[in-house]
Amino acid sequence: MAVTRFAPSPNGPLHLGHAYSAIVAHDLAKERGGQFLLRIEDIDGARSRPELADEFRRDLEWLGLEWDEVPTQSSRLESYDEAARELLEKGLLYPCTCTRAEIEALKPRLGPEGLVYPGTCKGRLLDPAKPAALRLDVDCAMARAGDLEWEDELAVCMTADPREAGDVVIVRKDAPASYHLAATLDDAADGVTLVTRGQDLFPATHVHRLLQALLGLPVPSWHHHGLLMDESGKKLAKRRGSPSLAERRNSGEDGLLLAEQLRLHRFPAGISLAST
Ligand code: GLU
């Protein structure tokens, strides 16, 4: 039995990489007599376009997938607030008013998810007029949680190493929760037992494993699949000219056939599957 999920953010149309990801999650659940869930992650600040969610449902239907839909993230804000309060009360979060430009100017080290915040606001008196995010004090959190392991079906058993990503944002300035907090809480609330997603999110799992320990959440297994790449070796993205699933669907392409091709790893010209 496996409960898997596909959790797209409606901030742009889905492309072939998303189709591959949804099919992997769908098929793993079906092969194991489990359940495949769709969760719309619609709290991405100004970039979120909730009207795209209907397009996503049509795309999945076109690919021949069957799913159960769980509540969208925008309907779960209370649970994010509650968890953030719990972490705050444990002394594991601190407010940060730094802007992206200010952080860049500090020339911090590069981590798996971009620049690693050097902790400038930690313990500092902040201007209350400035909007603040809440960051995880990762050293403090690790000291509290101790050594943590997690398991990826395609890799080995990993020791969680969230320090690599530094003091990540838990509550954003422009959104009620960061991806890390929302996805971790939702996977637990939705009973997901096998988190399937692309390898680009592998580093995030270290942070999620830590959050699970801090918040007393169940620990699933993970399955980070390879990513579809274009000719230049870059991850597929709409902006690099790969047609969206909606465009393919509207042009009359056969979605069931496309899904079968993706299952067989037969990709359109110039597209390949890469695993790191
Ligand atoms: N909403 C995230 C995305 O679209 C999902 C990440 C995940 O599967 O955990 O990238």
75, pLDDT greater than 90 = yes
pLDDT the model gives residue 99: 95
Domain identity same for 71 and 86:
no
- Tell me whether residue 219 is in a domain: no
Residue 42 CB–ligand 1 contact under 6 Å: no
Domain identity same for 114 and 167:
yes
- Tell me whether residue 129 is in a domain: yes
- Tell me whether residue 205 is in a domain: no
CA of 126 to the centre of ligand 1 (A): 32
Q: Look up the CATH number of the domain holding residue 56.
A: 3.40.50.620
Domain identity same for 116 and 171:
yes
231, pLDDT greater than 90 = no
Domains held by the chain: number? 2
- Tell me whether residue 172 is in a domain: yes
pLDDT band at 242 (very low <50, low <70, confident <90, very high): confident
Considering 159, 180, 201, which residue would you say is the last residue of a domain?
180
Ligand 1, atom 6, lies closest to the CA of 7
pLDDT the model gives residue 233: 82
Buried b (16+ CB within 10 A) or exposed e, 198-221: bbebbbbbbbbbbbbbbbebeebe
Per the structure, the complete domain to which residue 172 belongs is given by 77-180
CA distances from 158 to 80, 155, 179, 202 (A): 27, 8, 21, 11
Share the mean pLDDT of the chain.
94
- Sequence-distant (6+) residues with CB within 8 A of 129 are none
pLDDT the model gives residue 11: 92
pLDDT band at 241 (very low <50, low <70, confident <90, very high): low
Counting residues of the chain whose pLDDT is more than 70, the rounded percentage is: 98
- Tell me whether residue 190 is in a domain: no
- What is the tens place of the pLDDT at every residue in 215-226? 999 999 999 999
Domain identity same for 93 and 7:
no
| 161 in Cβ contact with 206 (< 8 Å) | yes
Residue 178 CB–ligand 1 contact under 6 Å: no
Name the DSSP class of 176.
Answer: S
Domain identity same for 109 and 54:
no
Domain identity same for 82 and 50:
no
Domain identity same for 56 and 128:
no
190, pLDDT greater than 60 = yes
239, pLDDT greater than 60 = no
Considering 180, 213, 240, which residue would you say is the last residue of a domain?
180
Considering 180, 204, 234, which residue would you say is the last residue of a domain?
180
pLDDT the model gives residue 205: 97
pLDDT the model gives residue 276: 62
Q: Which of 40-44, 155-159, 260-264 has the lowest mean pLDDT?
A: 155-159
Domain identity same for 110 and 167:
yes
Residue 140 CB–ligand 1 contact under 6 Å: no
- Tell me whether residue 195 is in a domain: no
Residue 212 CB–ligand 1 contact under 6 Å: no
Domain identity same for 135 and 63:
no
- Tell me whether residue 95 is in a domain: yes
Domain identity same for 34 and 44:
yes
Instruction: Decide: helix, strand or coil at residue 114.
Output: strand
- Tell me whether residue 142 is in a domain: yes
Domain identity same for 90 and 157:
yes
Domain identity same for 172 and 236:
no
| 30 in Cβ contact with 36 (< 8 Å) | yes
Residue 9 CB–ligand 1 contact under 6 Å: yes
- What is the tens place of the pLDDT at every residue in 191-219? 999 999 999 999 999 999 999 999 999 99
- What is the tens place of the pLDDT at every residue in 25-68? 999 999 999 999 999 999 987 888 988 999 999 999 999 999 99
pLDDT the model gives residue 238: 60
pLDDT the model gives residue 48: 86
